[in-house]
Amino acid sequence: EVQLVESGGGLVQPGGSLRLSCAASGFTFSSYAMHWVRQAPGKGLEYVSAISSDGVTTYYANSVKGRFTISRDHSKNMLYLQMGSLRTEDMAVYYCAREKSANTDDAFDIWGQGTMVTVSS
Amino acid sequence: DIVMTQSPDSLAVSLGERATINCKSSQSVLYSSNNKNYLAWYQQKPGQPPKLLIYWASTRESGVPDRFSGSGSGTDFTLTISSLQAEDVAVYYCQHYYSTPLSFGQGTKLEIK
């Protein structure tokens, strides 16, 4: 079964750090670009970060640039999001998602269940 | 950056009736070299992740009921549910994947009248 499972969320103080993980299974992880999308409580979807299939190219939304780092480990089929200098506005459910096609820009066909990040003192 | 704007923000439709959600992009998401619109629609139910319904503006994802259809090109797109079922109550989002940064519309909440 094709699956993504996030972990690593939790409660962190403003200014703190957290690393989210996304475990991929059921497909050739190294062939697909991967993304992080977040959703603040009661709000819509916000695109956060992306990484190419080979890990060379990354993208960050302006709201997280310089504070978050996306990475991947093909030996472990894992996607990561290292989050630093966390702010209250970063509080959200964080989803990892896979592009539908391995070879071209495409929609997101597989999503994890999400992991909640709470930023509060 | 491409801005996606959905209308309406919320919609109440009777069971069995047609529901129509619109999405407008601030610039064209039609890629001329392959004549494809880089536009997707997602459904999100409470407590669940988004689910892909439509991609390339009008291609239905496998397993999605045929009452869901997508149309439009360039900057104006529509998601239509031909005969609303109770299980279709959800928030619907459009998304472009034409260029970085990808972005989503603000969402349309669909309820039963």
Contacts of B61 in chain A (CB under 8 A): 109
How confident is the model at residue A89, as a pLDDT?
97
Mean pLDDT for chain B overall: 97
A66 — pLDDT class (breaks 50, 70, 90): very high
Contacts of B107 in chain A (CB under 8 A): 44-45
- How many percent of chain A have pLDDT more than 90? 96
How confident is the model at residue A104, as a pLDDT?
79
Contacts of A113 in chain B (CB under 8 A): 48-49
How confident is the model at residue A121, as a pLDDT?
94
Residue of B nearest to A39 (CA): B49
Residues forming beta bridges with residue B39, ordered by sequence position: B96
A105 — pLDDT class (breaks 50, 70, 90): confident
Q: Would the CB atoms of B52 and A109 count as touching at under 8 Å?
A: yes
Q: What is the mean pLDDT of residues B73-96?
A: 98
Instruction: Give the one of A59, A99, A111 whose C-beta lies nearest to B49's C-beta.
Output: A111
Given a contact cutoff of 8 angstroms between Cβ atoms, the answer to whether A7 and A94 are in contact is no
Rounded CA separation B71/B94 (Å)? 12
pLDDT at A51 over 80: yes
A102 — pLDDT class (breaks 50, 70, 90): confident
Q: What is the mean pLDDT of residues B96-100?
A: 94
| Residue A15 structure tokens | 């200014």
Residue of A nearest to B103 (CA): A47
Q: What is the mean pLDDT of residues A65-93?
A: 98
Judge residue B29's burial from the number of C-beta atoms within 10 Å of its C-beta, 0-12 exposed, 13-18 middle, 19 or more buried: buried
Tokens 């630093």: give the residue.
Answer: A84
Q: What is the mean pLDDT of residues B77-88?
A: 98
How confident is the model at residue B33, as a pLDDT?
93
How confident is the model at residue A103, as a pLDDT?
74
